[in-house]
Amino acid sequence: MSYLDKESLKVVGTRPIRPDGVDKVIGRASFGADMTMPGMLWGKVKRSPHAHARIVRIDTSKAAALPGVRAVVTAADFPDIANEEAFVGEGPMNFRDLSRNCLARGKVLYDGHAVAAVAATSQAIADEALDLIEVEYQVLPHVIDVEAAMAEDAPILHDDLFTQGVDPKPTKPSNVAKKITFTKGDIAKGFAEAEVVIEQKYTTQPVHQAYIEPHACVVAVGNDGQCTVYSSSQGQFMVRAYCAKLLNIDIANIRAIPSEIGGGFGGKTLVYLEPVALALSKKSGRPVKIVMSREDVFRGTGPAAGGTIEVKIGAKKSGRIVAAELVLKYQAGAFPGSPVGPGCMCAFAMYDLDNVHITGYDVVSNRPKVAAYRAPGAPNSSFGVESCIDELARELKIDPLALREMNAARDGTKTPYGPTLVNVGYLQTVEAAKNHEHYKTKLGPNQGRGVASGFWFNIGGESSAAVHVNEDGTVAVVEGNPDIGGSRASMAMMAAEVLGIAYEKVRPIVADTASVGFTFLTGGSRVTFATGMAVTQAAEKVVEQLKSRAAAIWDISPEAVEWKEGKAWPAGANAGSFEPLSLAEIAMKSGRTGGPISAEVSINAQGAGPGFATHICDVEVDRETGHVKILRYTAVQDVGRAIHPSYVEGQMQGGVTQGIGWALNEEYIYDKDGRLENPGFLDYRVPVASDLPMIETVMVEVPNPRHPFGARGVGEVPIVPPMAAVANAIADAVGARMRHLPMSPPKLSAVLDEQDPPRLAAE
Amino acid sequence: MSKHHVTTTINGEPAEYLCEAQQTMLDVLRDELGLTGSKEGCSSGDCGACTVIVDGNIVCSCLMLGVEAEGRTIQTIEGIANGDTLHPVQQKFLEHAALQCGFCTPGLIVAAKALLDTTLNPTEEEARYWLAGNLCRCTGYDKVLRAVMDAAEVMRQEAGR
């Protein structure tokens, strides 16, 4: 069924209080580190102090002998996993790499790489034991920067890594894991027709997802081999799958229970601690809890990829783009798997272009293995492309939104990576931005305005949900996606809408892996779309049952019953004359009409609608210090249909803020030995409340017809435009074109110092 | 190494505990007293997720030792509501959807409550600087600020009655 007629909706589109809200404002919600188990030990992880080194020897005997220590594990306690691609998390992953990321085998590949772990009766004893583990290293030359890692004479991380995607097949190992290309039309012909060509190189830095909750888990392995894993992650089924594979356990023997999750943004779509804790628990026979420190989080997890973005755009003087070329070199960290693929695919997806050539390189170096981060890959390539488009607009003296409008992708546009767009709202976001009062306000000295757009695919995938009618007429919704930003509310709202009952009568729960069917993780902006579809279908099945039960009570045919306003009604005069029966009345009698009323649905949801956004940013630059103040920010986005508008706005505001942090401040600082120098929130500066204005939101609604309520993913695309929007605003304010992130005060003031005159911008 | 005996007041109730000299107040709250509402995000005083009120001042409980609570009055997130009645800051956080993951929320609410204990007329800018020690990675602070300003409005009205 479809519920696209907005006027007919009673619950969807309103802003009720989230079902888990009270627990979260009174401190009762249980996050990863809040759980304990009886007899629990504390686990701690020993990490490499070297960026790249061979492990010559690990001696754990002294640690094991320390009173209070109950288990010590190294990679030797794990099966040596075969090289096998995994499709469990978000983005590419290899089981062998993940195993070696959890505990290093043979070599350490970055400062902070886990090498051993202990479990002890107290945290203090565990800490002491870590110091007693002796690791002899043979330090190897290391490489941090992506282009240095691609150099002919670069230190090689993996002797068995040969570049994929090049012909002939290379015979020498390389740090370039993969080369990919996307081609549409004839790029040479395109550039031959161009009247203006802009060619520039941009760089972004790897940044951490910086969820405030460090990774944490509590696990227990029973004497019968049954494992319980309680942890903070973006997917309990993901945790289960990885633990099973890495430790060679049957999936049926693992029950993964999701805690509340204190932020993830993609960074909790893989495991670090759970397999290690299980190994410690198995060895010690006791439950084991491990909680990362913030330093562990920075040194050992995430980050998002950074990289170089070389953009060449050719256009007619009218502004029509005739050729676009892009070369991306993305940091994968210690193991292959940067999001360079989506980076390539998203870069030009906002535009209707005939001639495109895109090349991407996935490059390993001695940094932590990258993890997904909100629209993984897209913010980097879009920073380059959207900055370059702005440079083109300035060169041609065309309004940057008008230039985007002229070249905009729309329904029927064939993307450079293949698919043809349908039901997209990009143009609508550009027009809404152009017509927004923000775009027309006057600016003062050293103030500037920038715009930028962004694209993200959004995904669907496997989801399960159950709807159970309780005997008093309340309803339980059971789903399998950790609620990272209010999704319980959306699920309850969709169920309430279908059932025709009050939102408050529906209680959603996020179930463990034994209590609901398989559900792919919370990521890809998929939950409201895919799991929402499963919830809707389960509620519809329940409605069918309710109608049958009413029919049985009335002794008429189920086809002669209709469901509206939460009640069964005879469908017309021929059906007979009966008083309507409410859901509660039918529920009360369910024992006498066929038993409990419930339905579970498992689907592989298809038809996720892509998300487009266009942002406007005003800045003021302090010419003396190079400090950039965000004066005003408006985010326009095609959200499909906002199920709970407040949480949609929240996704937009949060994504924008992360993008502003990426633009202005966030970066990893390595010393000459490849050690991370800023593994804490004092020196790795994420945006704070006083850095920001209110983030204004404009929700354009172009419903996605493949979803019953028209929803499309909203969580990721908001982080795509901000870096270019900020850079373009800085260029507008002071004529300094910042092509390298972060645009932090020292970097901007260095540029301003050199600037005196000429200015770069068209004055 | 013997433990220290501490007598203090937590959320209006007398409290006693034994702790080691190096244990932080946050560890005592979470591990000894079962008050896990205060969160550990950094243990270096940078994120504010462990914010508590000590004798009227906001403190990162990860930077305070458990033994320092002796004779003091401590308020944690668990003591902000009045029984089943939420504090206006808590109520407004819910109404404005000022939380997404909810992990930084206890610290933000404690800090905001302390702000409104000192003034019911903060400007948005004052509130932003007051809360600058509480990191939130989800919300971009927009709805947080709206909730705090709205709570101040409600409390002004209550105070005026």
Q: What is the pLDDT of residues A221-233, one digit of tens each?
A: 999 999 999 999 9
Residues B97 and B56 grouped into a single domain: no
Residues A743 and A618 grouped into a single domain: yes
| Spatial CA neighbour of A345 closest among A358, A330, A363 | A358
Under a CB-based contact definition with an 8 Å cutoff, are residues A266 and A371 in contact? yes
Kindly indicate the confidence band of residue A217, based on its pLDDT and cuts at 50, 70 and 90: very high
Residues A467 and A448 grouped into a single domain: no
Residues B115 and B136 grouped into a single domain: yes
Q: What is the pLDDT of residues A25-37, one digit of tens each?
A: 999 999 999 999 9
Q: In whole angstroms, give the CA distance from residue A516 to residue B154.
A: 42
Average pLDDT of A452-456?
A: 98
Q: In whole angstroms, give the CA distance from residue A14 to residue A646.
A: 9
Residues A514 and A414 grouped into a single domain: no
Q: Does the pLDDT of residue A596 top 60, yes or no? A: yes
CATH number assigned to the domain comprising residue A445? 3.30.365.10
Under a CB-based contact definition with an 8 Å cutoff, are residues A494 and A643 in contact? yes
Residues B115 and B137 grouped into a single domain: yes
Q: Which of B47, B79, B111 is the last residue of a domain?
A: B79
Q: What is the pLDDT of residue A762?
A: 47
Specify if A55 maps to a domain.
no
Residues A452 and A465 grouped into a single domain: no
Q: What is the pLDDT of residues A299-358, one digit of tens each?
A: 999 999 999 999 999 999 999 999 999 999 999 999 999 999 999 999 999 999 999 999
Q: Which of A605, A625, A653 is the last residue of a domain?
A: A605
Specify if A430 maps to a domain.
yes
Q: Which of B30, B52, B79 is the last residue of a domain?
A: B79
| Alpha-carbon separation of residue A195 from A169, A190, A323, A324, A712 (angstroms) | 39, 10, 11, 13, 38
Expressed in angstroms, the distance from the first to the final Cα of chain B is 55
CB contact under 8 A, B43 and A294: yes
Q: Which of A605, A635, A667 is the last residue of a domain?
A: A605
Domain limits at A19? 6-28+460-605
CA distance A135 to chain B (A): 27
CB contacts, 8 Å: B83 with chain A? none
CATH number assigned to the domain comprising residue B62? 3.10.20.30
Q: What is the pLDDT of residues A606-655, one digit of tens each?
A: 999 999 999 999 999 999 999 999 999 999 999 999 999 999 999 999 99
Residues A749 and A683 grouped into a single domain: yes
Please state, rounded to an integer, the average pLDDT across all residues of chain A.
96
Of A90, A462, A497, A716, which is the active-site residue? A716
Tokens 């019968």 label which residue? A224
Q: Confirm or reject contact between B131 and chain A (CB < 8 A).
A: yes
Residues B92 and B156 grouped into a single domain: yes
Q: What is the pLDDT of residue A756?
A: 67
Q: Which token pair is A450?
A: 């920038």
Specify if A185 maps to a domain.
no
Q: β-strand A69-74 against A114-120: which pairing, if any?
A: antiparallel
Residues B121 and B74 grouped into a single domain: no
Residues A429 and A503 grouped into a single domain: no
Q: Does the pLDDT of residue A163 top 50, yes or no? A: yes
Q: How many independent structural domains does chain B possess?
A: 2
Specify if A490 maps to a domain.
yes
Residues A478 and A585 grouped into a single domain: yes
Residues A537 and A438 grouped into a single domain: no
Specify if A357 maps to a domain.
no
Q: Confirm or reject contact between B6 and chain A (CB < 8 A).
A: no
Q: In whole angstroms, give the CA distance from residue A522 to residue A536.
A: 18
Q: β-strand B57-60 against B51-54: which pairing, if any?
A: antiparallel
Q: β-strand B13-19 against B4-10: which pairing, if any?
A: antiparallel
Residues A643 and A564 grouped into a single domain: no
Best mutation target among B40, B103, B128 (most A Cβ atoms within 10 Å) is: B103
Kindly indicate the confidence band of residue A598, based on its pLDDT and cuts at 50, 70 and 90: very high
Backbone angles phi, psi at A357, to 5 degrees: -140, 125
Average pLDDT of A451-465?
A: 97
Residues B11 and B75 grouped into a single domain: yes
Residues B39 and B95 grouped into a single domain: no
Q: What is the pLDDT of residues A540-591, one digit of tens each?
A: 999 999 999 999 999 999 999 999 999 999 998 888 899 999 999 999 999 9
CATH number assigned to the domain comprising residue B92? 1.10.150.120
Kindly indicate the confidence band of residue A207, based on its pLDDT and cuts at 50, 70 and 90: very high
Domain limits at B74? 4-79
Establish whether this prediction's ipTM goes over 0.90: yes
Under a CB-based contact definition with an 8 Å cutoff, are residues A307 and A205 in contact? no
Q: Does the pLDDT of residue A758 top 50, yes or no? A: no
Specify if A98 maps to a domain.
no
Average pLDDT of A473-478?
A: 98
Residues A469 and A408 grouped into a single domain: no
CB contacts, 8 Å: B37 with chain A? 26-28
CB contact under 8 A, A690 and B140: no
Q: How many independent structural domains does chain A possess?
A: 2
Q: In whole angstroms, give the CA distance from residue A572 to residue A193.
A: 68
Cis peptide preceding A742, ω within 30 of 0:
yes
Residues A737 and A682 grouped into a single domain: yes
Under a CB-based contact definition with an 8 Å cutoff, are residues A525 and A458 in contact? yes
Residues B15 and B64 grouped into a single domain: yes
Under a CB-based contact definition with an 8 Å cutoff, are residues A609 and A423 in contact? yes
Q: Which of B79, B102, B128 is the last residue of a domain?
A: B79
Q: Look at residue A521 and give its three-state secondary structure.
A: coil
- Around Cβ A303, how many Cβ atoms within 10 Å? 25
Q: What is the pLDDT of residue A663?
A: 98
Tell me if residue A134 is catalytic. Answer: no
* Residue from the list A18, A212, A260 with its beta carbon closest to the beta carbon of B135: A212
Q: Which of A605, A638, A657 is the last residue of a domain?
A: A605
Please state the pTM of the whole predicted model: 0.97
CA distance A489 to chain B (A): 11
Residues B120 and B75 grouped into a single domain: no
Residues B8 and B74 grouped into a single domain: yes
Q: Does the pLDDT of residue A162 top 50, yes or no? A: yes
| Spatial CA neighbour of A716 closest among A609, A617, A583 | A609
CB contact under 8 A, A211 and B133: no
Best mutation target among B101, B113, B134, B146 (most A Cβ atoms within 10 Å) is: B101
Under a CB-based contact definition with an 8 Å cutoff, are residues A503 and A492 in contact? yes
Q: Confirm or reject contact between B88 and chain A (CB < 8 A).
A: no
Specify if A143 maps to a domain.
no
The residue of chain A with its CA nearest to that of B137 is A211
- Around Cβ A754, how many Cβ atoms within 10 Å? 8
Residues A477 and A613 grouped into a single domain: no
Q: What is the pLDDT of residues A500-532, one digit of tens each?
A: 999 999 999 999 999 999 999 999 999 999 999
Residues B12 and B71 grouped into a single domain: yes
Interface of A with B in 172-211 (CB under 8 A): 209-211
Classify residue A507 by burial, with Cβ atoms within 10 Å: 0-12, 13-18, 19+.
middle
Specify if A681 maps to a domain.
yes
Residues B58 and B109 grouped into a single domain: no
Q: What is the pLDDT of residues A38-89, one digit of tens each?
A: 999 999 999 999 999 999 999 999 999 999 999 999 999 999 998 888 877 6
Q: What is the pLDDT of residue B1?
A: 63
